């Protein structure tokens, strides 16, 4: 049986091949009680394969999977888990409360409906037919269905995909409320800011391998450096001439560059007589770190349009 010293989920040296395609290449992943872990990766990185293996829907070629003290797919583990998959569908012609009552009946110790409705921000929507819900509200209903069985572990596969900034924020507060209640969460997302905002730990997957793991701050610190941003009378070329080896980028009215020694570089620019206006120096974003970790040979640039959420 599971003890509280053991992780809730432990994937060890997991490998999965689809023909010539290596989906997972000896990955290790664990989730501790009360922990929110974000699994980040680009398309095809292996996130869904990891989740399918954890759920017992896929058999790995190599490696060991233990979920809540049981082998993957064991009914006793499933009973203690809530899952929200990308492929989930909802019936149109039932109300929110009917759908949740039905799901509650599947579990021996379901959560009180009032708690589930409050956590999923659905209290005011109980009588609404599913077909009348917005995309964000439907996602929150799927979330409510995932948590209604009072799970110890909830798996959310890209739960905010396609949602606008407001709906995404609302969903974030649902996840935070769940985590505050002590439930462990494994979340996959393409939104790097989302992982930063929600998770205790981030695991970055690239081409089926874990390329980085740590608290969001540690992932950023792995790269170090700052983003320097300013308006200037000097051209990008003049700046690159002043700081040999730096790659400056033009972003609208602003020039941006990444620097491991921002103080020294700024002094160089001042000494070269380059005027800097509206200057900001900030730590790199998780998105910068992610791009660098997954594409280490490429110069990582600040995204032109950052997430507005
Ligand atoms: N059933 C399958 N048959 C063949 N190849 C597969 C299958 N499932 C996944 N793959 C391949 O394995 C790799 C990992 O896929 P996976 O779906 O796990 O990635 P992902 O990180 O979830 O991507 P996305 O963010 O696009 O959902 C990809 O190259 C994919 O094409």
Protein residue whose Cα sits closest to atom 13 of ligand 1: 23
Q: Is the CB of 45 under 6 A from ligand 1?
A: yes
pLDDT digits (tens, 9 = 90+) for 201-230: 999 888 899 988 999 888 766 656 788 999
Cα 14 to Cα 97: distance, rounded to the nearest angstrom: 40
Q: In what order do the strands lie in the sheet with 201-206?
A: 81-84, 153-157, 184-189, 36-41, 201-206, 209-214
Q: Is the CB of 43 under 6 A from ligand 1?
A: yes
Which domains are assigned to the chain?
9-220 (3.40.50.300), 225-283 (3.30.70)
Q: Is the CB of 149 under 6 A from ligand 1?
A: no
Q: Per-residue pLDDT averaged across 12-33, rounded?
A: 96
Cα 291 to Cα 282: distance, rounded to the nearest angstrom: 17
Cα 101 from chain centre:
30
Ligand 1: centre distance to CA 48 (Å): 7
Cα 40 to Cα 210: distance, rounded to the nearest angstrom: 10
Q: Is the CB of 99 under 6 A from ligand 1?
A: no
pLDDT digits (tens, 9 = 90+) for 24-74: 999 999 999 999 999 988 888 899 999 999 999 999 999 999 999 999 999
Ligand 1: centre distance to CA 44 (Å): 5
| Mean pLDDT of the chain, nearest integer | 87
């Amino acid at each position: 049986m599971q003890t509280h010293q053991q992780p809730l989920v432990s994937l060890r040296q997991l490998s999965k091949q689809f023909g010539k395609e290596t989906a997972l290449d000896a990955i290790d992943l664990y989730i501790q009680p009360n922990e929110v872990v974000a699994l980040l990766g680009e398309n095809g990185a292996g996130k869904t394969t990891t989740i399918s293996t954890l759920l017992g829907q896929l058999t790995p070629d190599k490696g060991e999977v233990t979920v809540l003290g049981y082998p993957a797919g064991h009914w006793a583990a499933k009973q203690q888990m809530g899952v929200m998959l990308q492929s989930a569908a909802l019936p149109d012609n039932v109300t929110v409360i009917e759908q949740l009552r039905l799901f509650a009946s599947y579990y021996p110790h379901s959560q009180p409906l009032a708690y589930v409705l409050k956590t999923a921000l659905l209290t005011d929507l109980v009588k609404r037919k599913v077909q009348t819900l917005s995309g964000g509200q439907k996602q929150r209903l799927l979330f409510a269905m995932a948590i209604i069985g009072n799970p110890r572990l909830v798996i959310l596969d890209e739960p905010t995909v396609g949602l606008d900034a407001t709906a995404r924020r609302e969903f974030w507060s649902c996840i935070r409320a769940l985590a505050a209640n002590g439930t462990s969460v494994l979340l996959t997302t393409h939104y790097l800011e989302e992982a930063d905002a929600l998770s205790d730990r981030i695991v970055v997957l690239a081409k089926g391998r874990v390329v980085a793991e740590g608290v969001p701050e540690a992932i950023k610190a792995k790269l170090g450096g700052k983003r320097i941003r300013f308006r200037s009378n000097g051209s990008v070329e003049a700046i690159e001439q002043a700081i040999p080896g730096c790659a400056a980028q033009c972003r609208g009215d602003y020039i941006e560059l990444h620097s491991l020694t921002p103080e020294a570089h700024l002094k160089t620019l001042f000494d070269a007589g380059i005027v800097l206006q509206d200057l900001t120096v900030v730590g790199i974003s998780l998105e910068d770190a992610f791009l660098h970790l997954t594409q280490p040979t490429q110069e990582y640039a600040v995204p032109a349009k950052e997430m507005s959420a």
